[in-house]
Amino acid sequence: MDAELLLAAVLGVPRARLLTLGAVPHEAAARFTGLVAERASRVPLQHLTGTAPFRFLELAVGPGVFVPRPETELIAGWVLERIAGADHPWVVDLGTGSGAIALSVAHEHPGARVVAVEADAGAIEWTRHNAATRAAAGDTPVEVLAGDMTDDGLLPALDGAVDVVVSNPPYVPDGARLPREVADHDPPLALWGGPDGLDVVRGLLRTAARLLRPGGWLGIEHADAQGSAVPTLVRSVGGWTGVADHADLAGRPRYTTARLTGGAGAQ
């Protein structure tokens, strides 16, 4: 599959079009050979093609930004379910990276008011590029903000007003072994979460509790080994109801959701 996607990218055609090609021009073949060698050295496929598919979007990615994973599409869908039927809900995506969740919400719910927050100076350039591309294509513009999701002074104007806070935060425990595609190419700020992987999540919980309206929703992606630890952490800090964990399509624990105490019954 990787080889087919690389060849399709070189030729500028959909992957299915390869079935009907009669020949590959010499220059394209040489470029393809070079890309295959890079992929064999564990450069991420998406860095070589320059794009990553996410739900209904194609996002620009490359060195300096976390490559969005298919598993994250599920939490984006969960956000959209929470705001379905609302005219102008506020959604804040903390640690947005390429902007995958934020831009998908804006694309699929045109009335949503979406803020995408990113702390990494390199990653946010990709966020801004993707946000500008989607706005030019006619999607509702997303506000891109440089900031730390654990900062107590982040987005003070939205205190108590946000309908959904969502995050795919850094959650890898310090010292964990990772595939070379991740360890060598994803930005460290997007990966490492302290000794137990939950240091950033602890700060995120404070920020979310401040930003959300009573009854507002929180969604946090996590590693498959944290399906018990994250819900336990959310319950332990208090102020949340309806804490639940959700599996990905492979049946592995993937994200935790909760509702800020004070609203209608949790779903």
User: Which residues are tagged catalytic?
Assistant: 66, 168-169
Element holding 259 (H helix, E strand) = strand 253-260
Given the DSSP bridges, would you call strands 90-94 and 113-118 parallel, antiparallel or unpaired? parallel
**Cα→Cα distances 33→3, 14, 19, 26, Å:** 10, 19, 19, 11
d(CA 145, CA 78): 23
Q: How many CA atoms lie within 13 A of 22 on its CB side?
A: 0
d(CA 170, CA 143): 22
Please state the φ and ψ torsions of residue 43, each to the nearest 5 degrees: -70, 135
Please state the φ and ψ torsions of residue 213, each to the nearest 5 degrees: -75, 160
Q: Mutual orientation of helices 199-211 and 229-237 as an angle, nearest 10°?
A: 50
Structural contact between residues 169 and 221, judged by C-beta atoms closer than 8 angstroms: yes
Structural contact between residues 127 and 99, judged by C-beta atoms closer than 8 angstroms: yes
Element holding 190 (H helix, E strand) = none
**Cα→Cα distances 76→3, 169, 192, 218, Å:** 29, 14, 22, 12
